[in-house]
Amino acid sequence: MADKTVTVANLYKSFGAHSVFEDTSADIETGSVFGLVGLNGSGKTTFIRLLLGLLRPGRGGVRVLGFEPWLHKQEYYRRVGVILEHDGFAGNLTVARNLRVFGDAKGLPWRQVEAYVDDQWSGTFIHKELRGSATKVKHLSRGQKMQCALCRAFLPQSDAFFLDEPTVALDVDAIDHFYSLVNSARNRGATVLISSHQLSAIQELCDTVGMLHDRAIHILKPDARKEKFRSWLIRCAGDEKYKAIIEAGCGAPAEYRNGCWRFAAADPATVVPKIVSGLASAGCDITEVRPDEEAIKEKMRTLSRGPGG
């Protein structure tokens, strides 16, 4: 299964009587960015820890890059980049000294780490730290520490990245830089998993979005590149004849919710104007037409409330 970087099959995991995953399955395709969302306590961090072999699956299989994470193979850890709750840097050491340690851990010569920082981090404070400054990490701000953690996570040679809340405390420039790092990783065929509550980042960066809810992963946004899926929204009356026009136009089921018709358009540039024109001809009073950008947020709410919630 070379096209799947992560394969989770029939996973069970519990802590005492508290079950976190029950018969959960999920795949993450190689070269994609997967967004993991969920309410507090839904198991996002636990899921990442399972992928990293920090926790052992109760039952079922977890494979990443062909490795079974729980076996703690050094070759596996050299191919993954990680952001977890703590930045992982030793406060008493400088940024450069810390990066040297993490470079050693991945078997990277120092000159390769320097070349990476020159290439990917020029113009940032991390580059200055490597080229003269010698600030101890404990004197850095929280946002700077997060940037250091990103710098560590994206060290060369990684093929998979597991990032738990990677945008916390980042300023706008740092967030832009983070986006470019993720896109660059995707472009070279690496796989990125981002767990975050910042839905705007998830919406913008991720090819696929999954929500952890009720001990399972529900796909909220399928991979648009694969399925040519694009969610759209037209605000108008919920008349059945409008539904027929929309479904005929997009060739997919339309759903009326919260005063809007929602549908998937494989080729929005052609399909959406055609539908709008059809609705207008039928006398429909349209007040809003736009991509369904809030789909993830609304689907999360719908899912978490449950049927009839």
Partner 1 sequence: MKQAGTIVGKEWACFTGSEKGVFVVYAVLVFVWSFLPRYNAAGGPGFLSGLWWLSLSVIVSSGFANSVFAAERISGSMEILLTCGFSRNAVVLGKTAFVVLVSFVLGAVCLLLSLAWAMGNLQAYLVQAAMTDLLLYSGGAFMGAAAGAWMSIRFSSPRIMPFANLFLVIVICAAYYVAAQFIPMSEWVLFLMTALAGSVFLWRAIKDFHGEKVIAPVDI
Which residues bind to partner 1, rule: CB under 8 A?
Answer: 49, 52-56, 72, 74, 77-78, 80, 82, 84-90, 92-93, 97, 101-102, 104-107, 136, 152
R_g over Cα of the chain: 22
User: CB atoms < 10 A from the CB of 23, how many?
Assistant: 12
Distance CA 62, CA 133 (A): 42
Q: How far is the CB of 152 from partner 1 (least distance, A)?
A: 7
Element (H, E) at 296: helix 295-305
Q: How far is the CB of 100 from partner 1 (least distance, A)?
A: 9
Angle at 140 between CA 77 and CA 107, to 5 degrees: 25
Q: How far is the CB of 174 from partner 1 (least distance, A)?
A: 19
Pick the closer one to partner 1 by CB: 181 or 284. 181
In this structure, are residues 6 and 64 in contact, taking their beta carbons and an 8 Å threshold? yes
Q: How far is the CB of 102 from partner 1 (least distance, A)?
A: 5
Phi and psi torsions of 148, nearest 5°: -60, -40
Where do the H-state alpha helices sit in 188-237? 199-205, 224-227
Pick the closer one to partner 1 by CB: 36 or 52. 52
Q: How far is the CB of 46 from partner 1 (least distance, A)?
A: 11
Helix (H, G, I), strand (E, B) or coil at 60: strand
Pick the closer one to partner 1 by CB: 50 or 233. 50
Sort 85 into a burial class: Cβ within 10 Å, 0-12 / 13-18 / 19+: exposed
Pick the closer one to partner 1 by CB: 82 or 246. 82
Pick the closer one to partner 1 by CB: 75 or 227. 75
Q: How far is the CB of 207 from partner 1 (least distance, A)?
A: 24
Pick the closer one to partner 1 by CB: 107 or 109. 107
Q: How far is the CB of 155 from partner 1 (least distance, A)?
A: 9
265 secondary structure, DSSP code: -
In this structure, are residues 185 and 161 in contact, taking their beta carbons and an 8 Å threshold? yes
Q: How far is the CB of 226 from partner 1 (least distance, A)?
A: 30
Measured CA to CA in angstroms, residue 273 lies from 192, 232, 268 at distances of 35, 12, 8
Residues with Cβ within 8 Å of 28's Cβ and at least 6 positions away in sequence, in order, are 4, 5, 6, 34, 191, 193, 208
Helix (H, G, I), strand (E, B) or coil at 306: coil
Pick the closer one to partner 1 by CB: 152 or 221. 152
Pick the closer one to partner 1 by CB: 162 or 178. 162
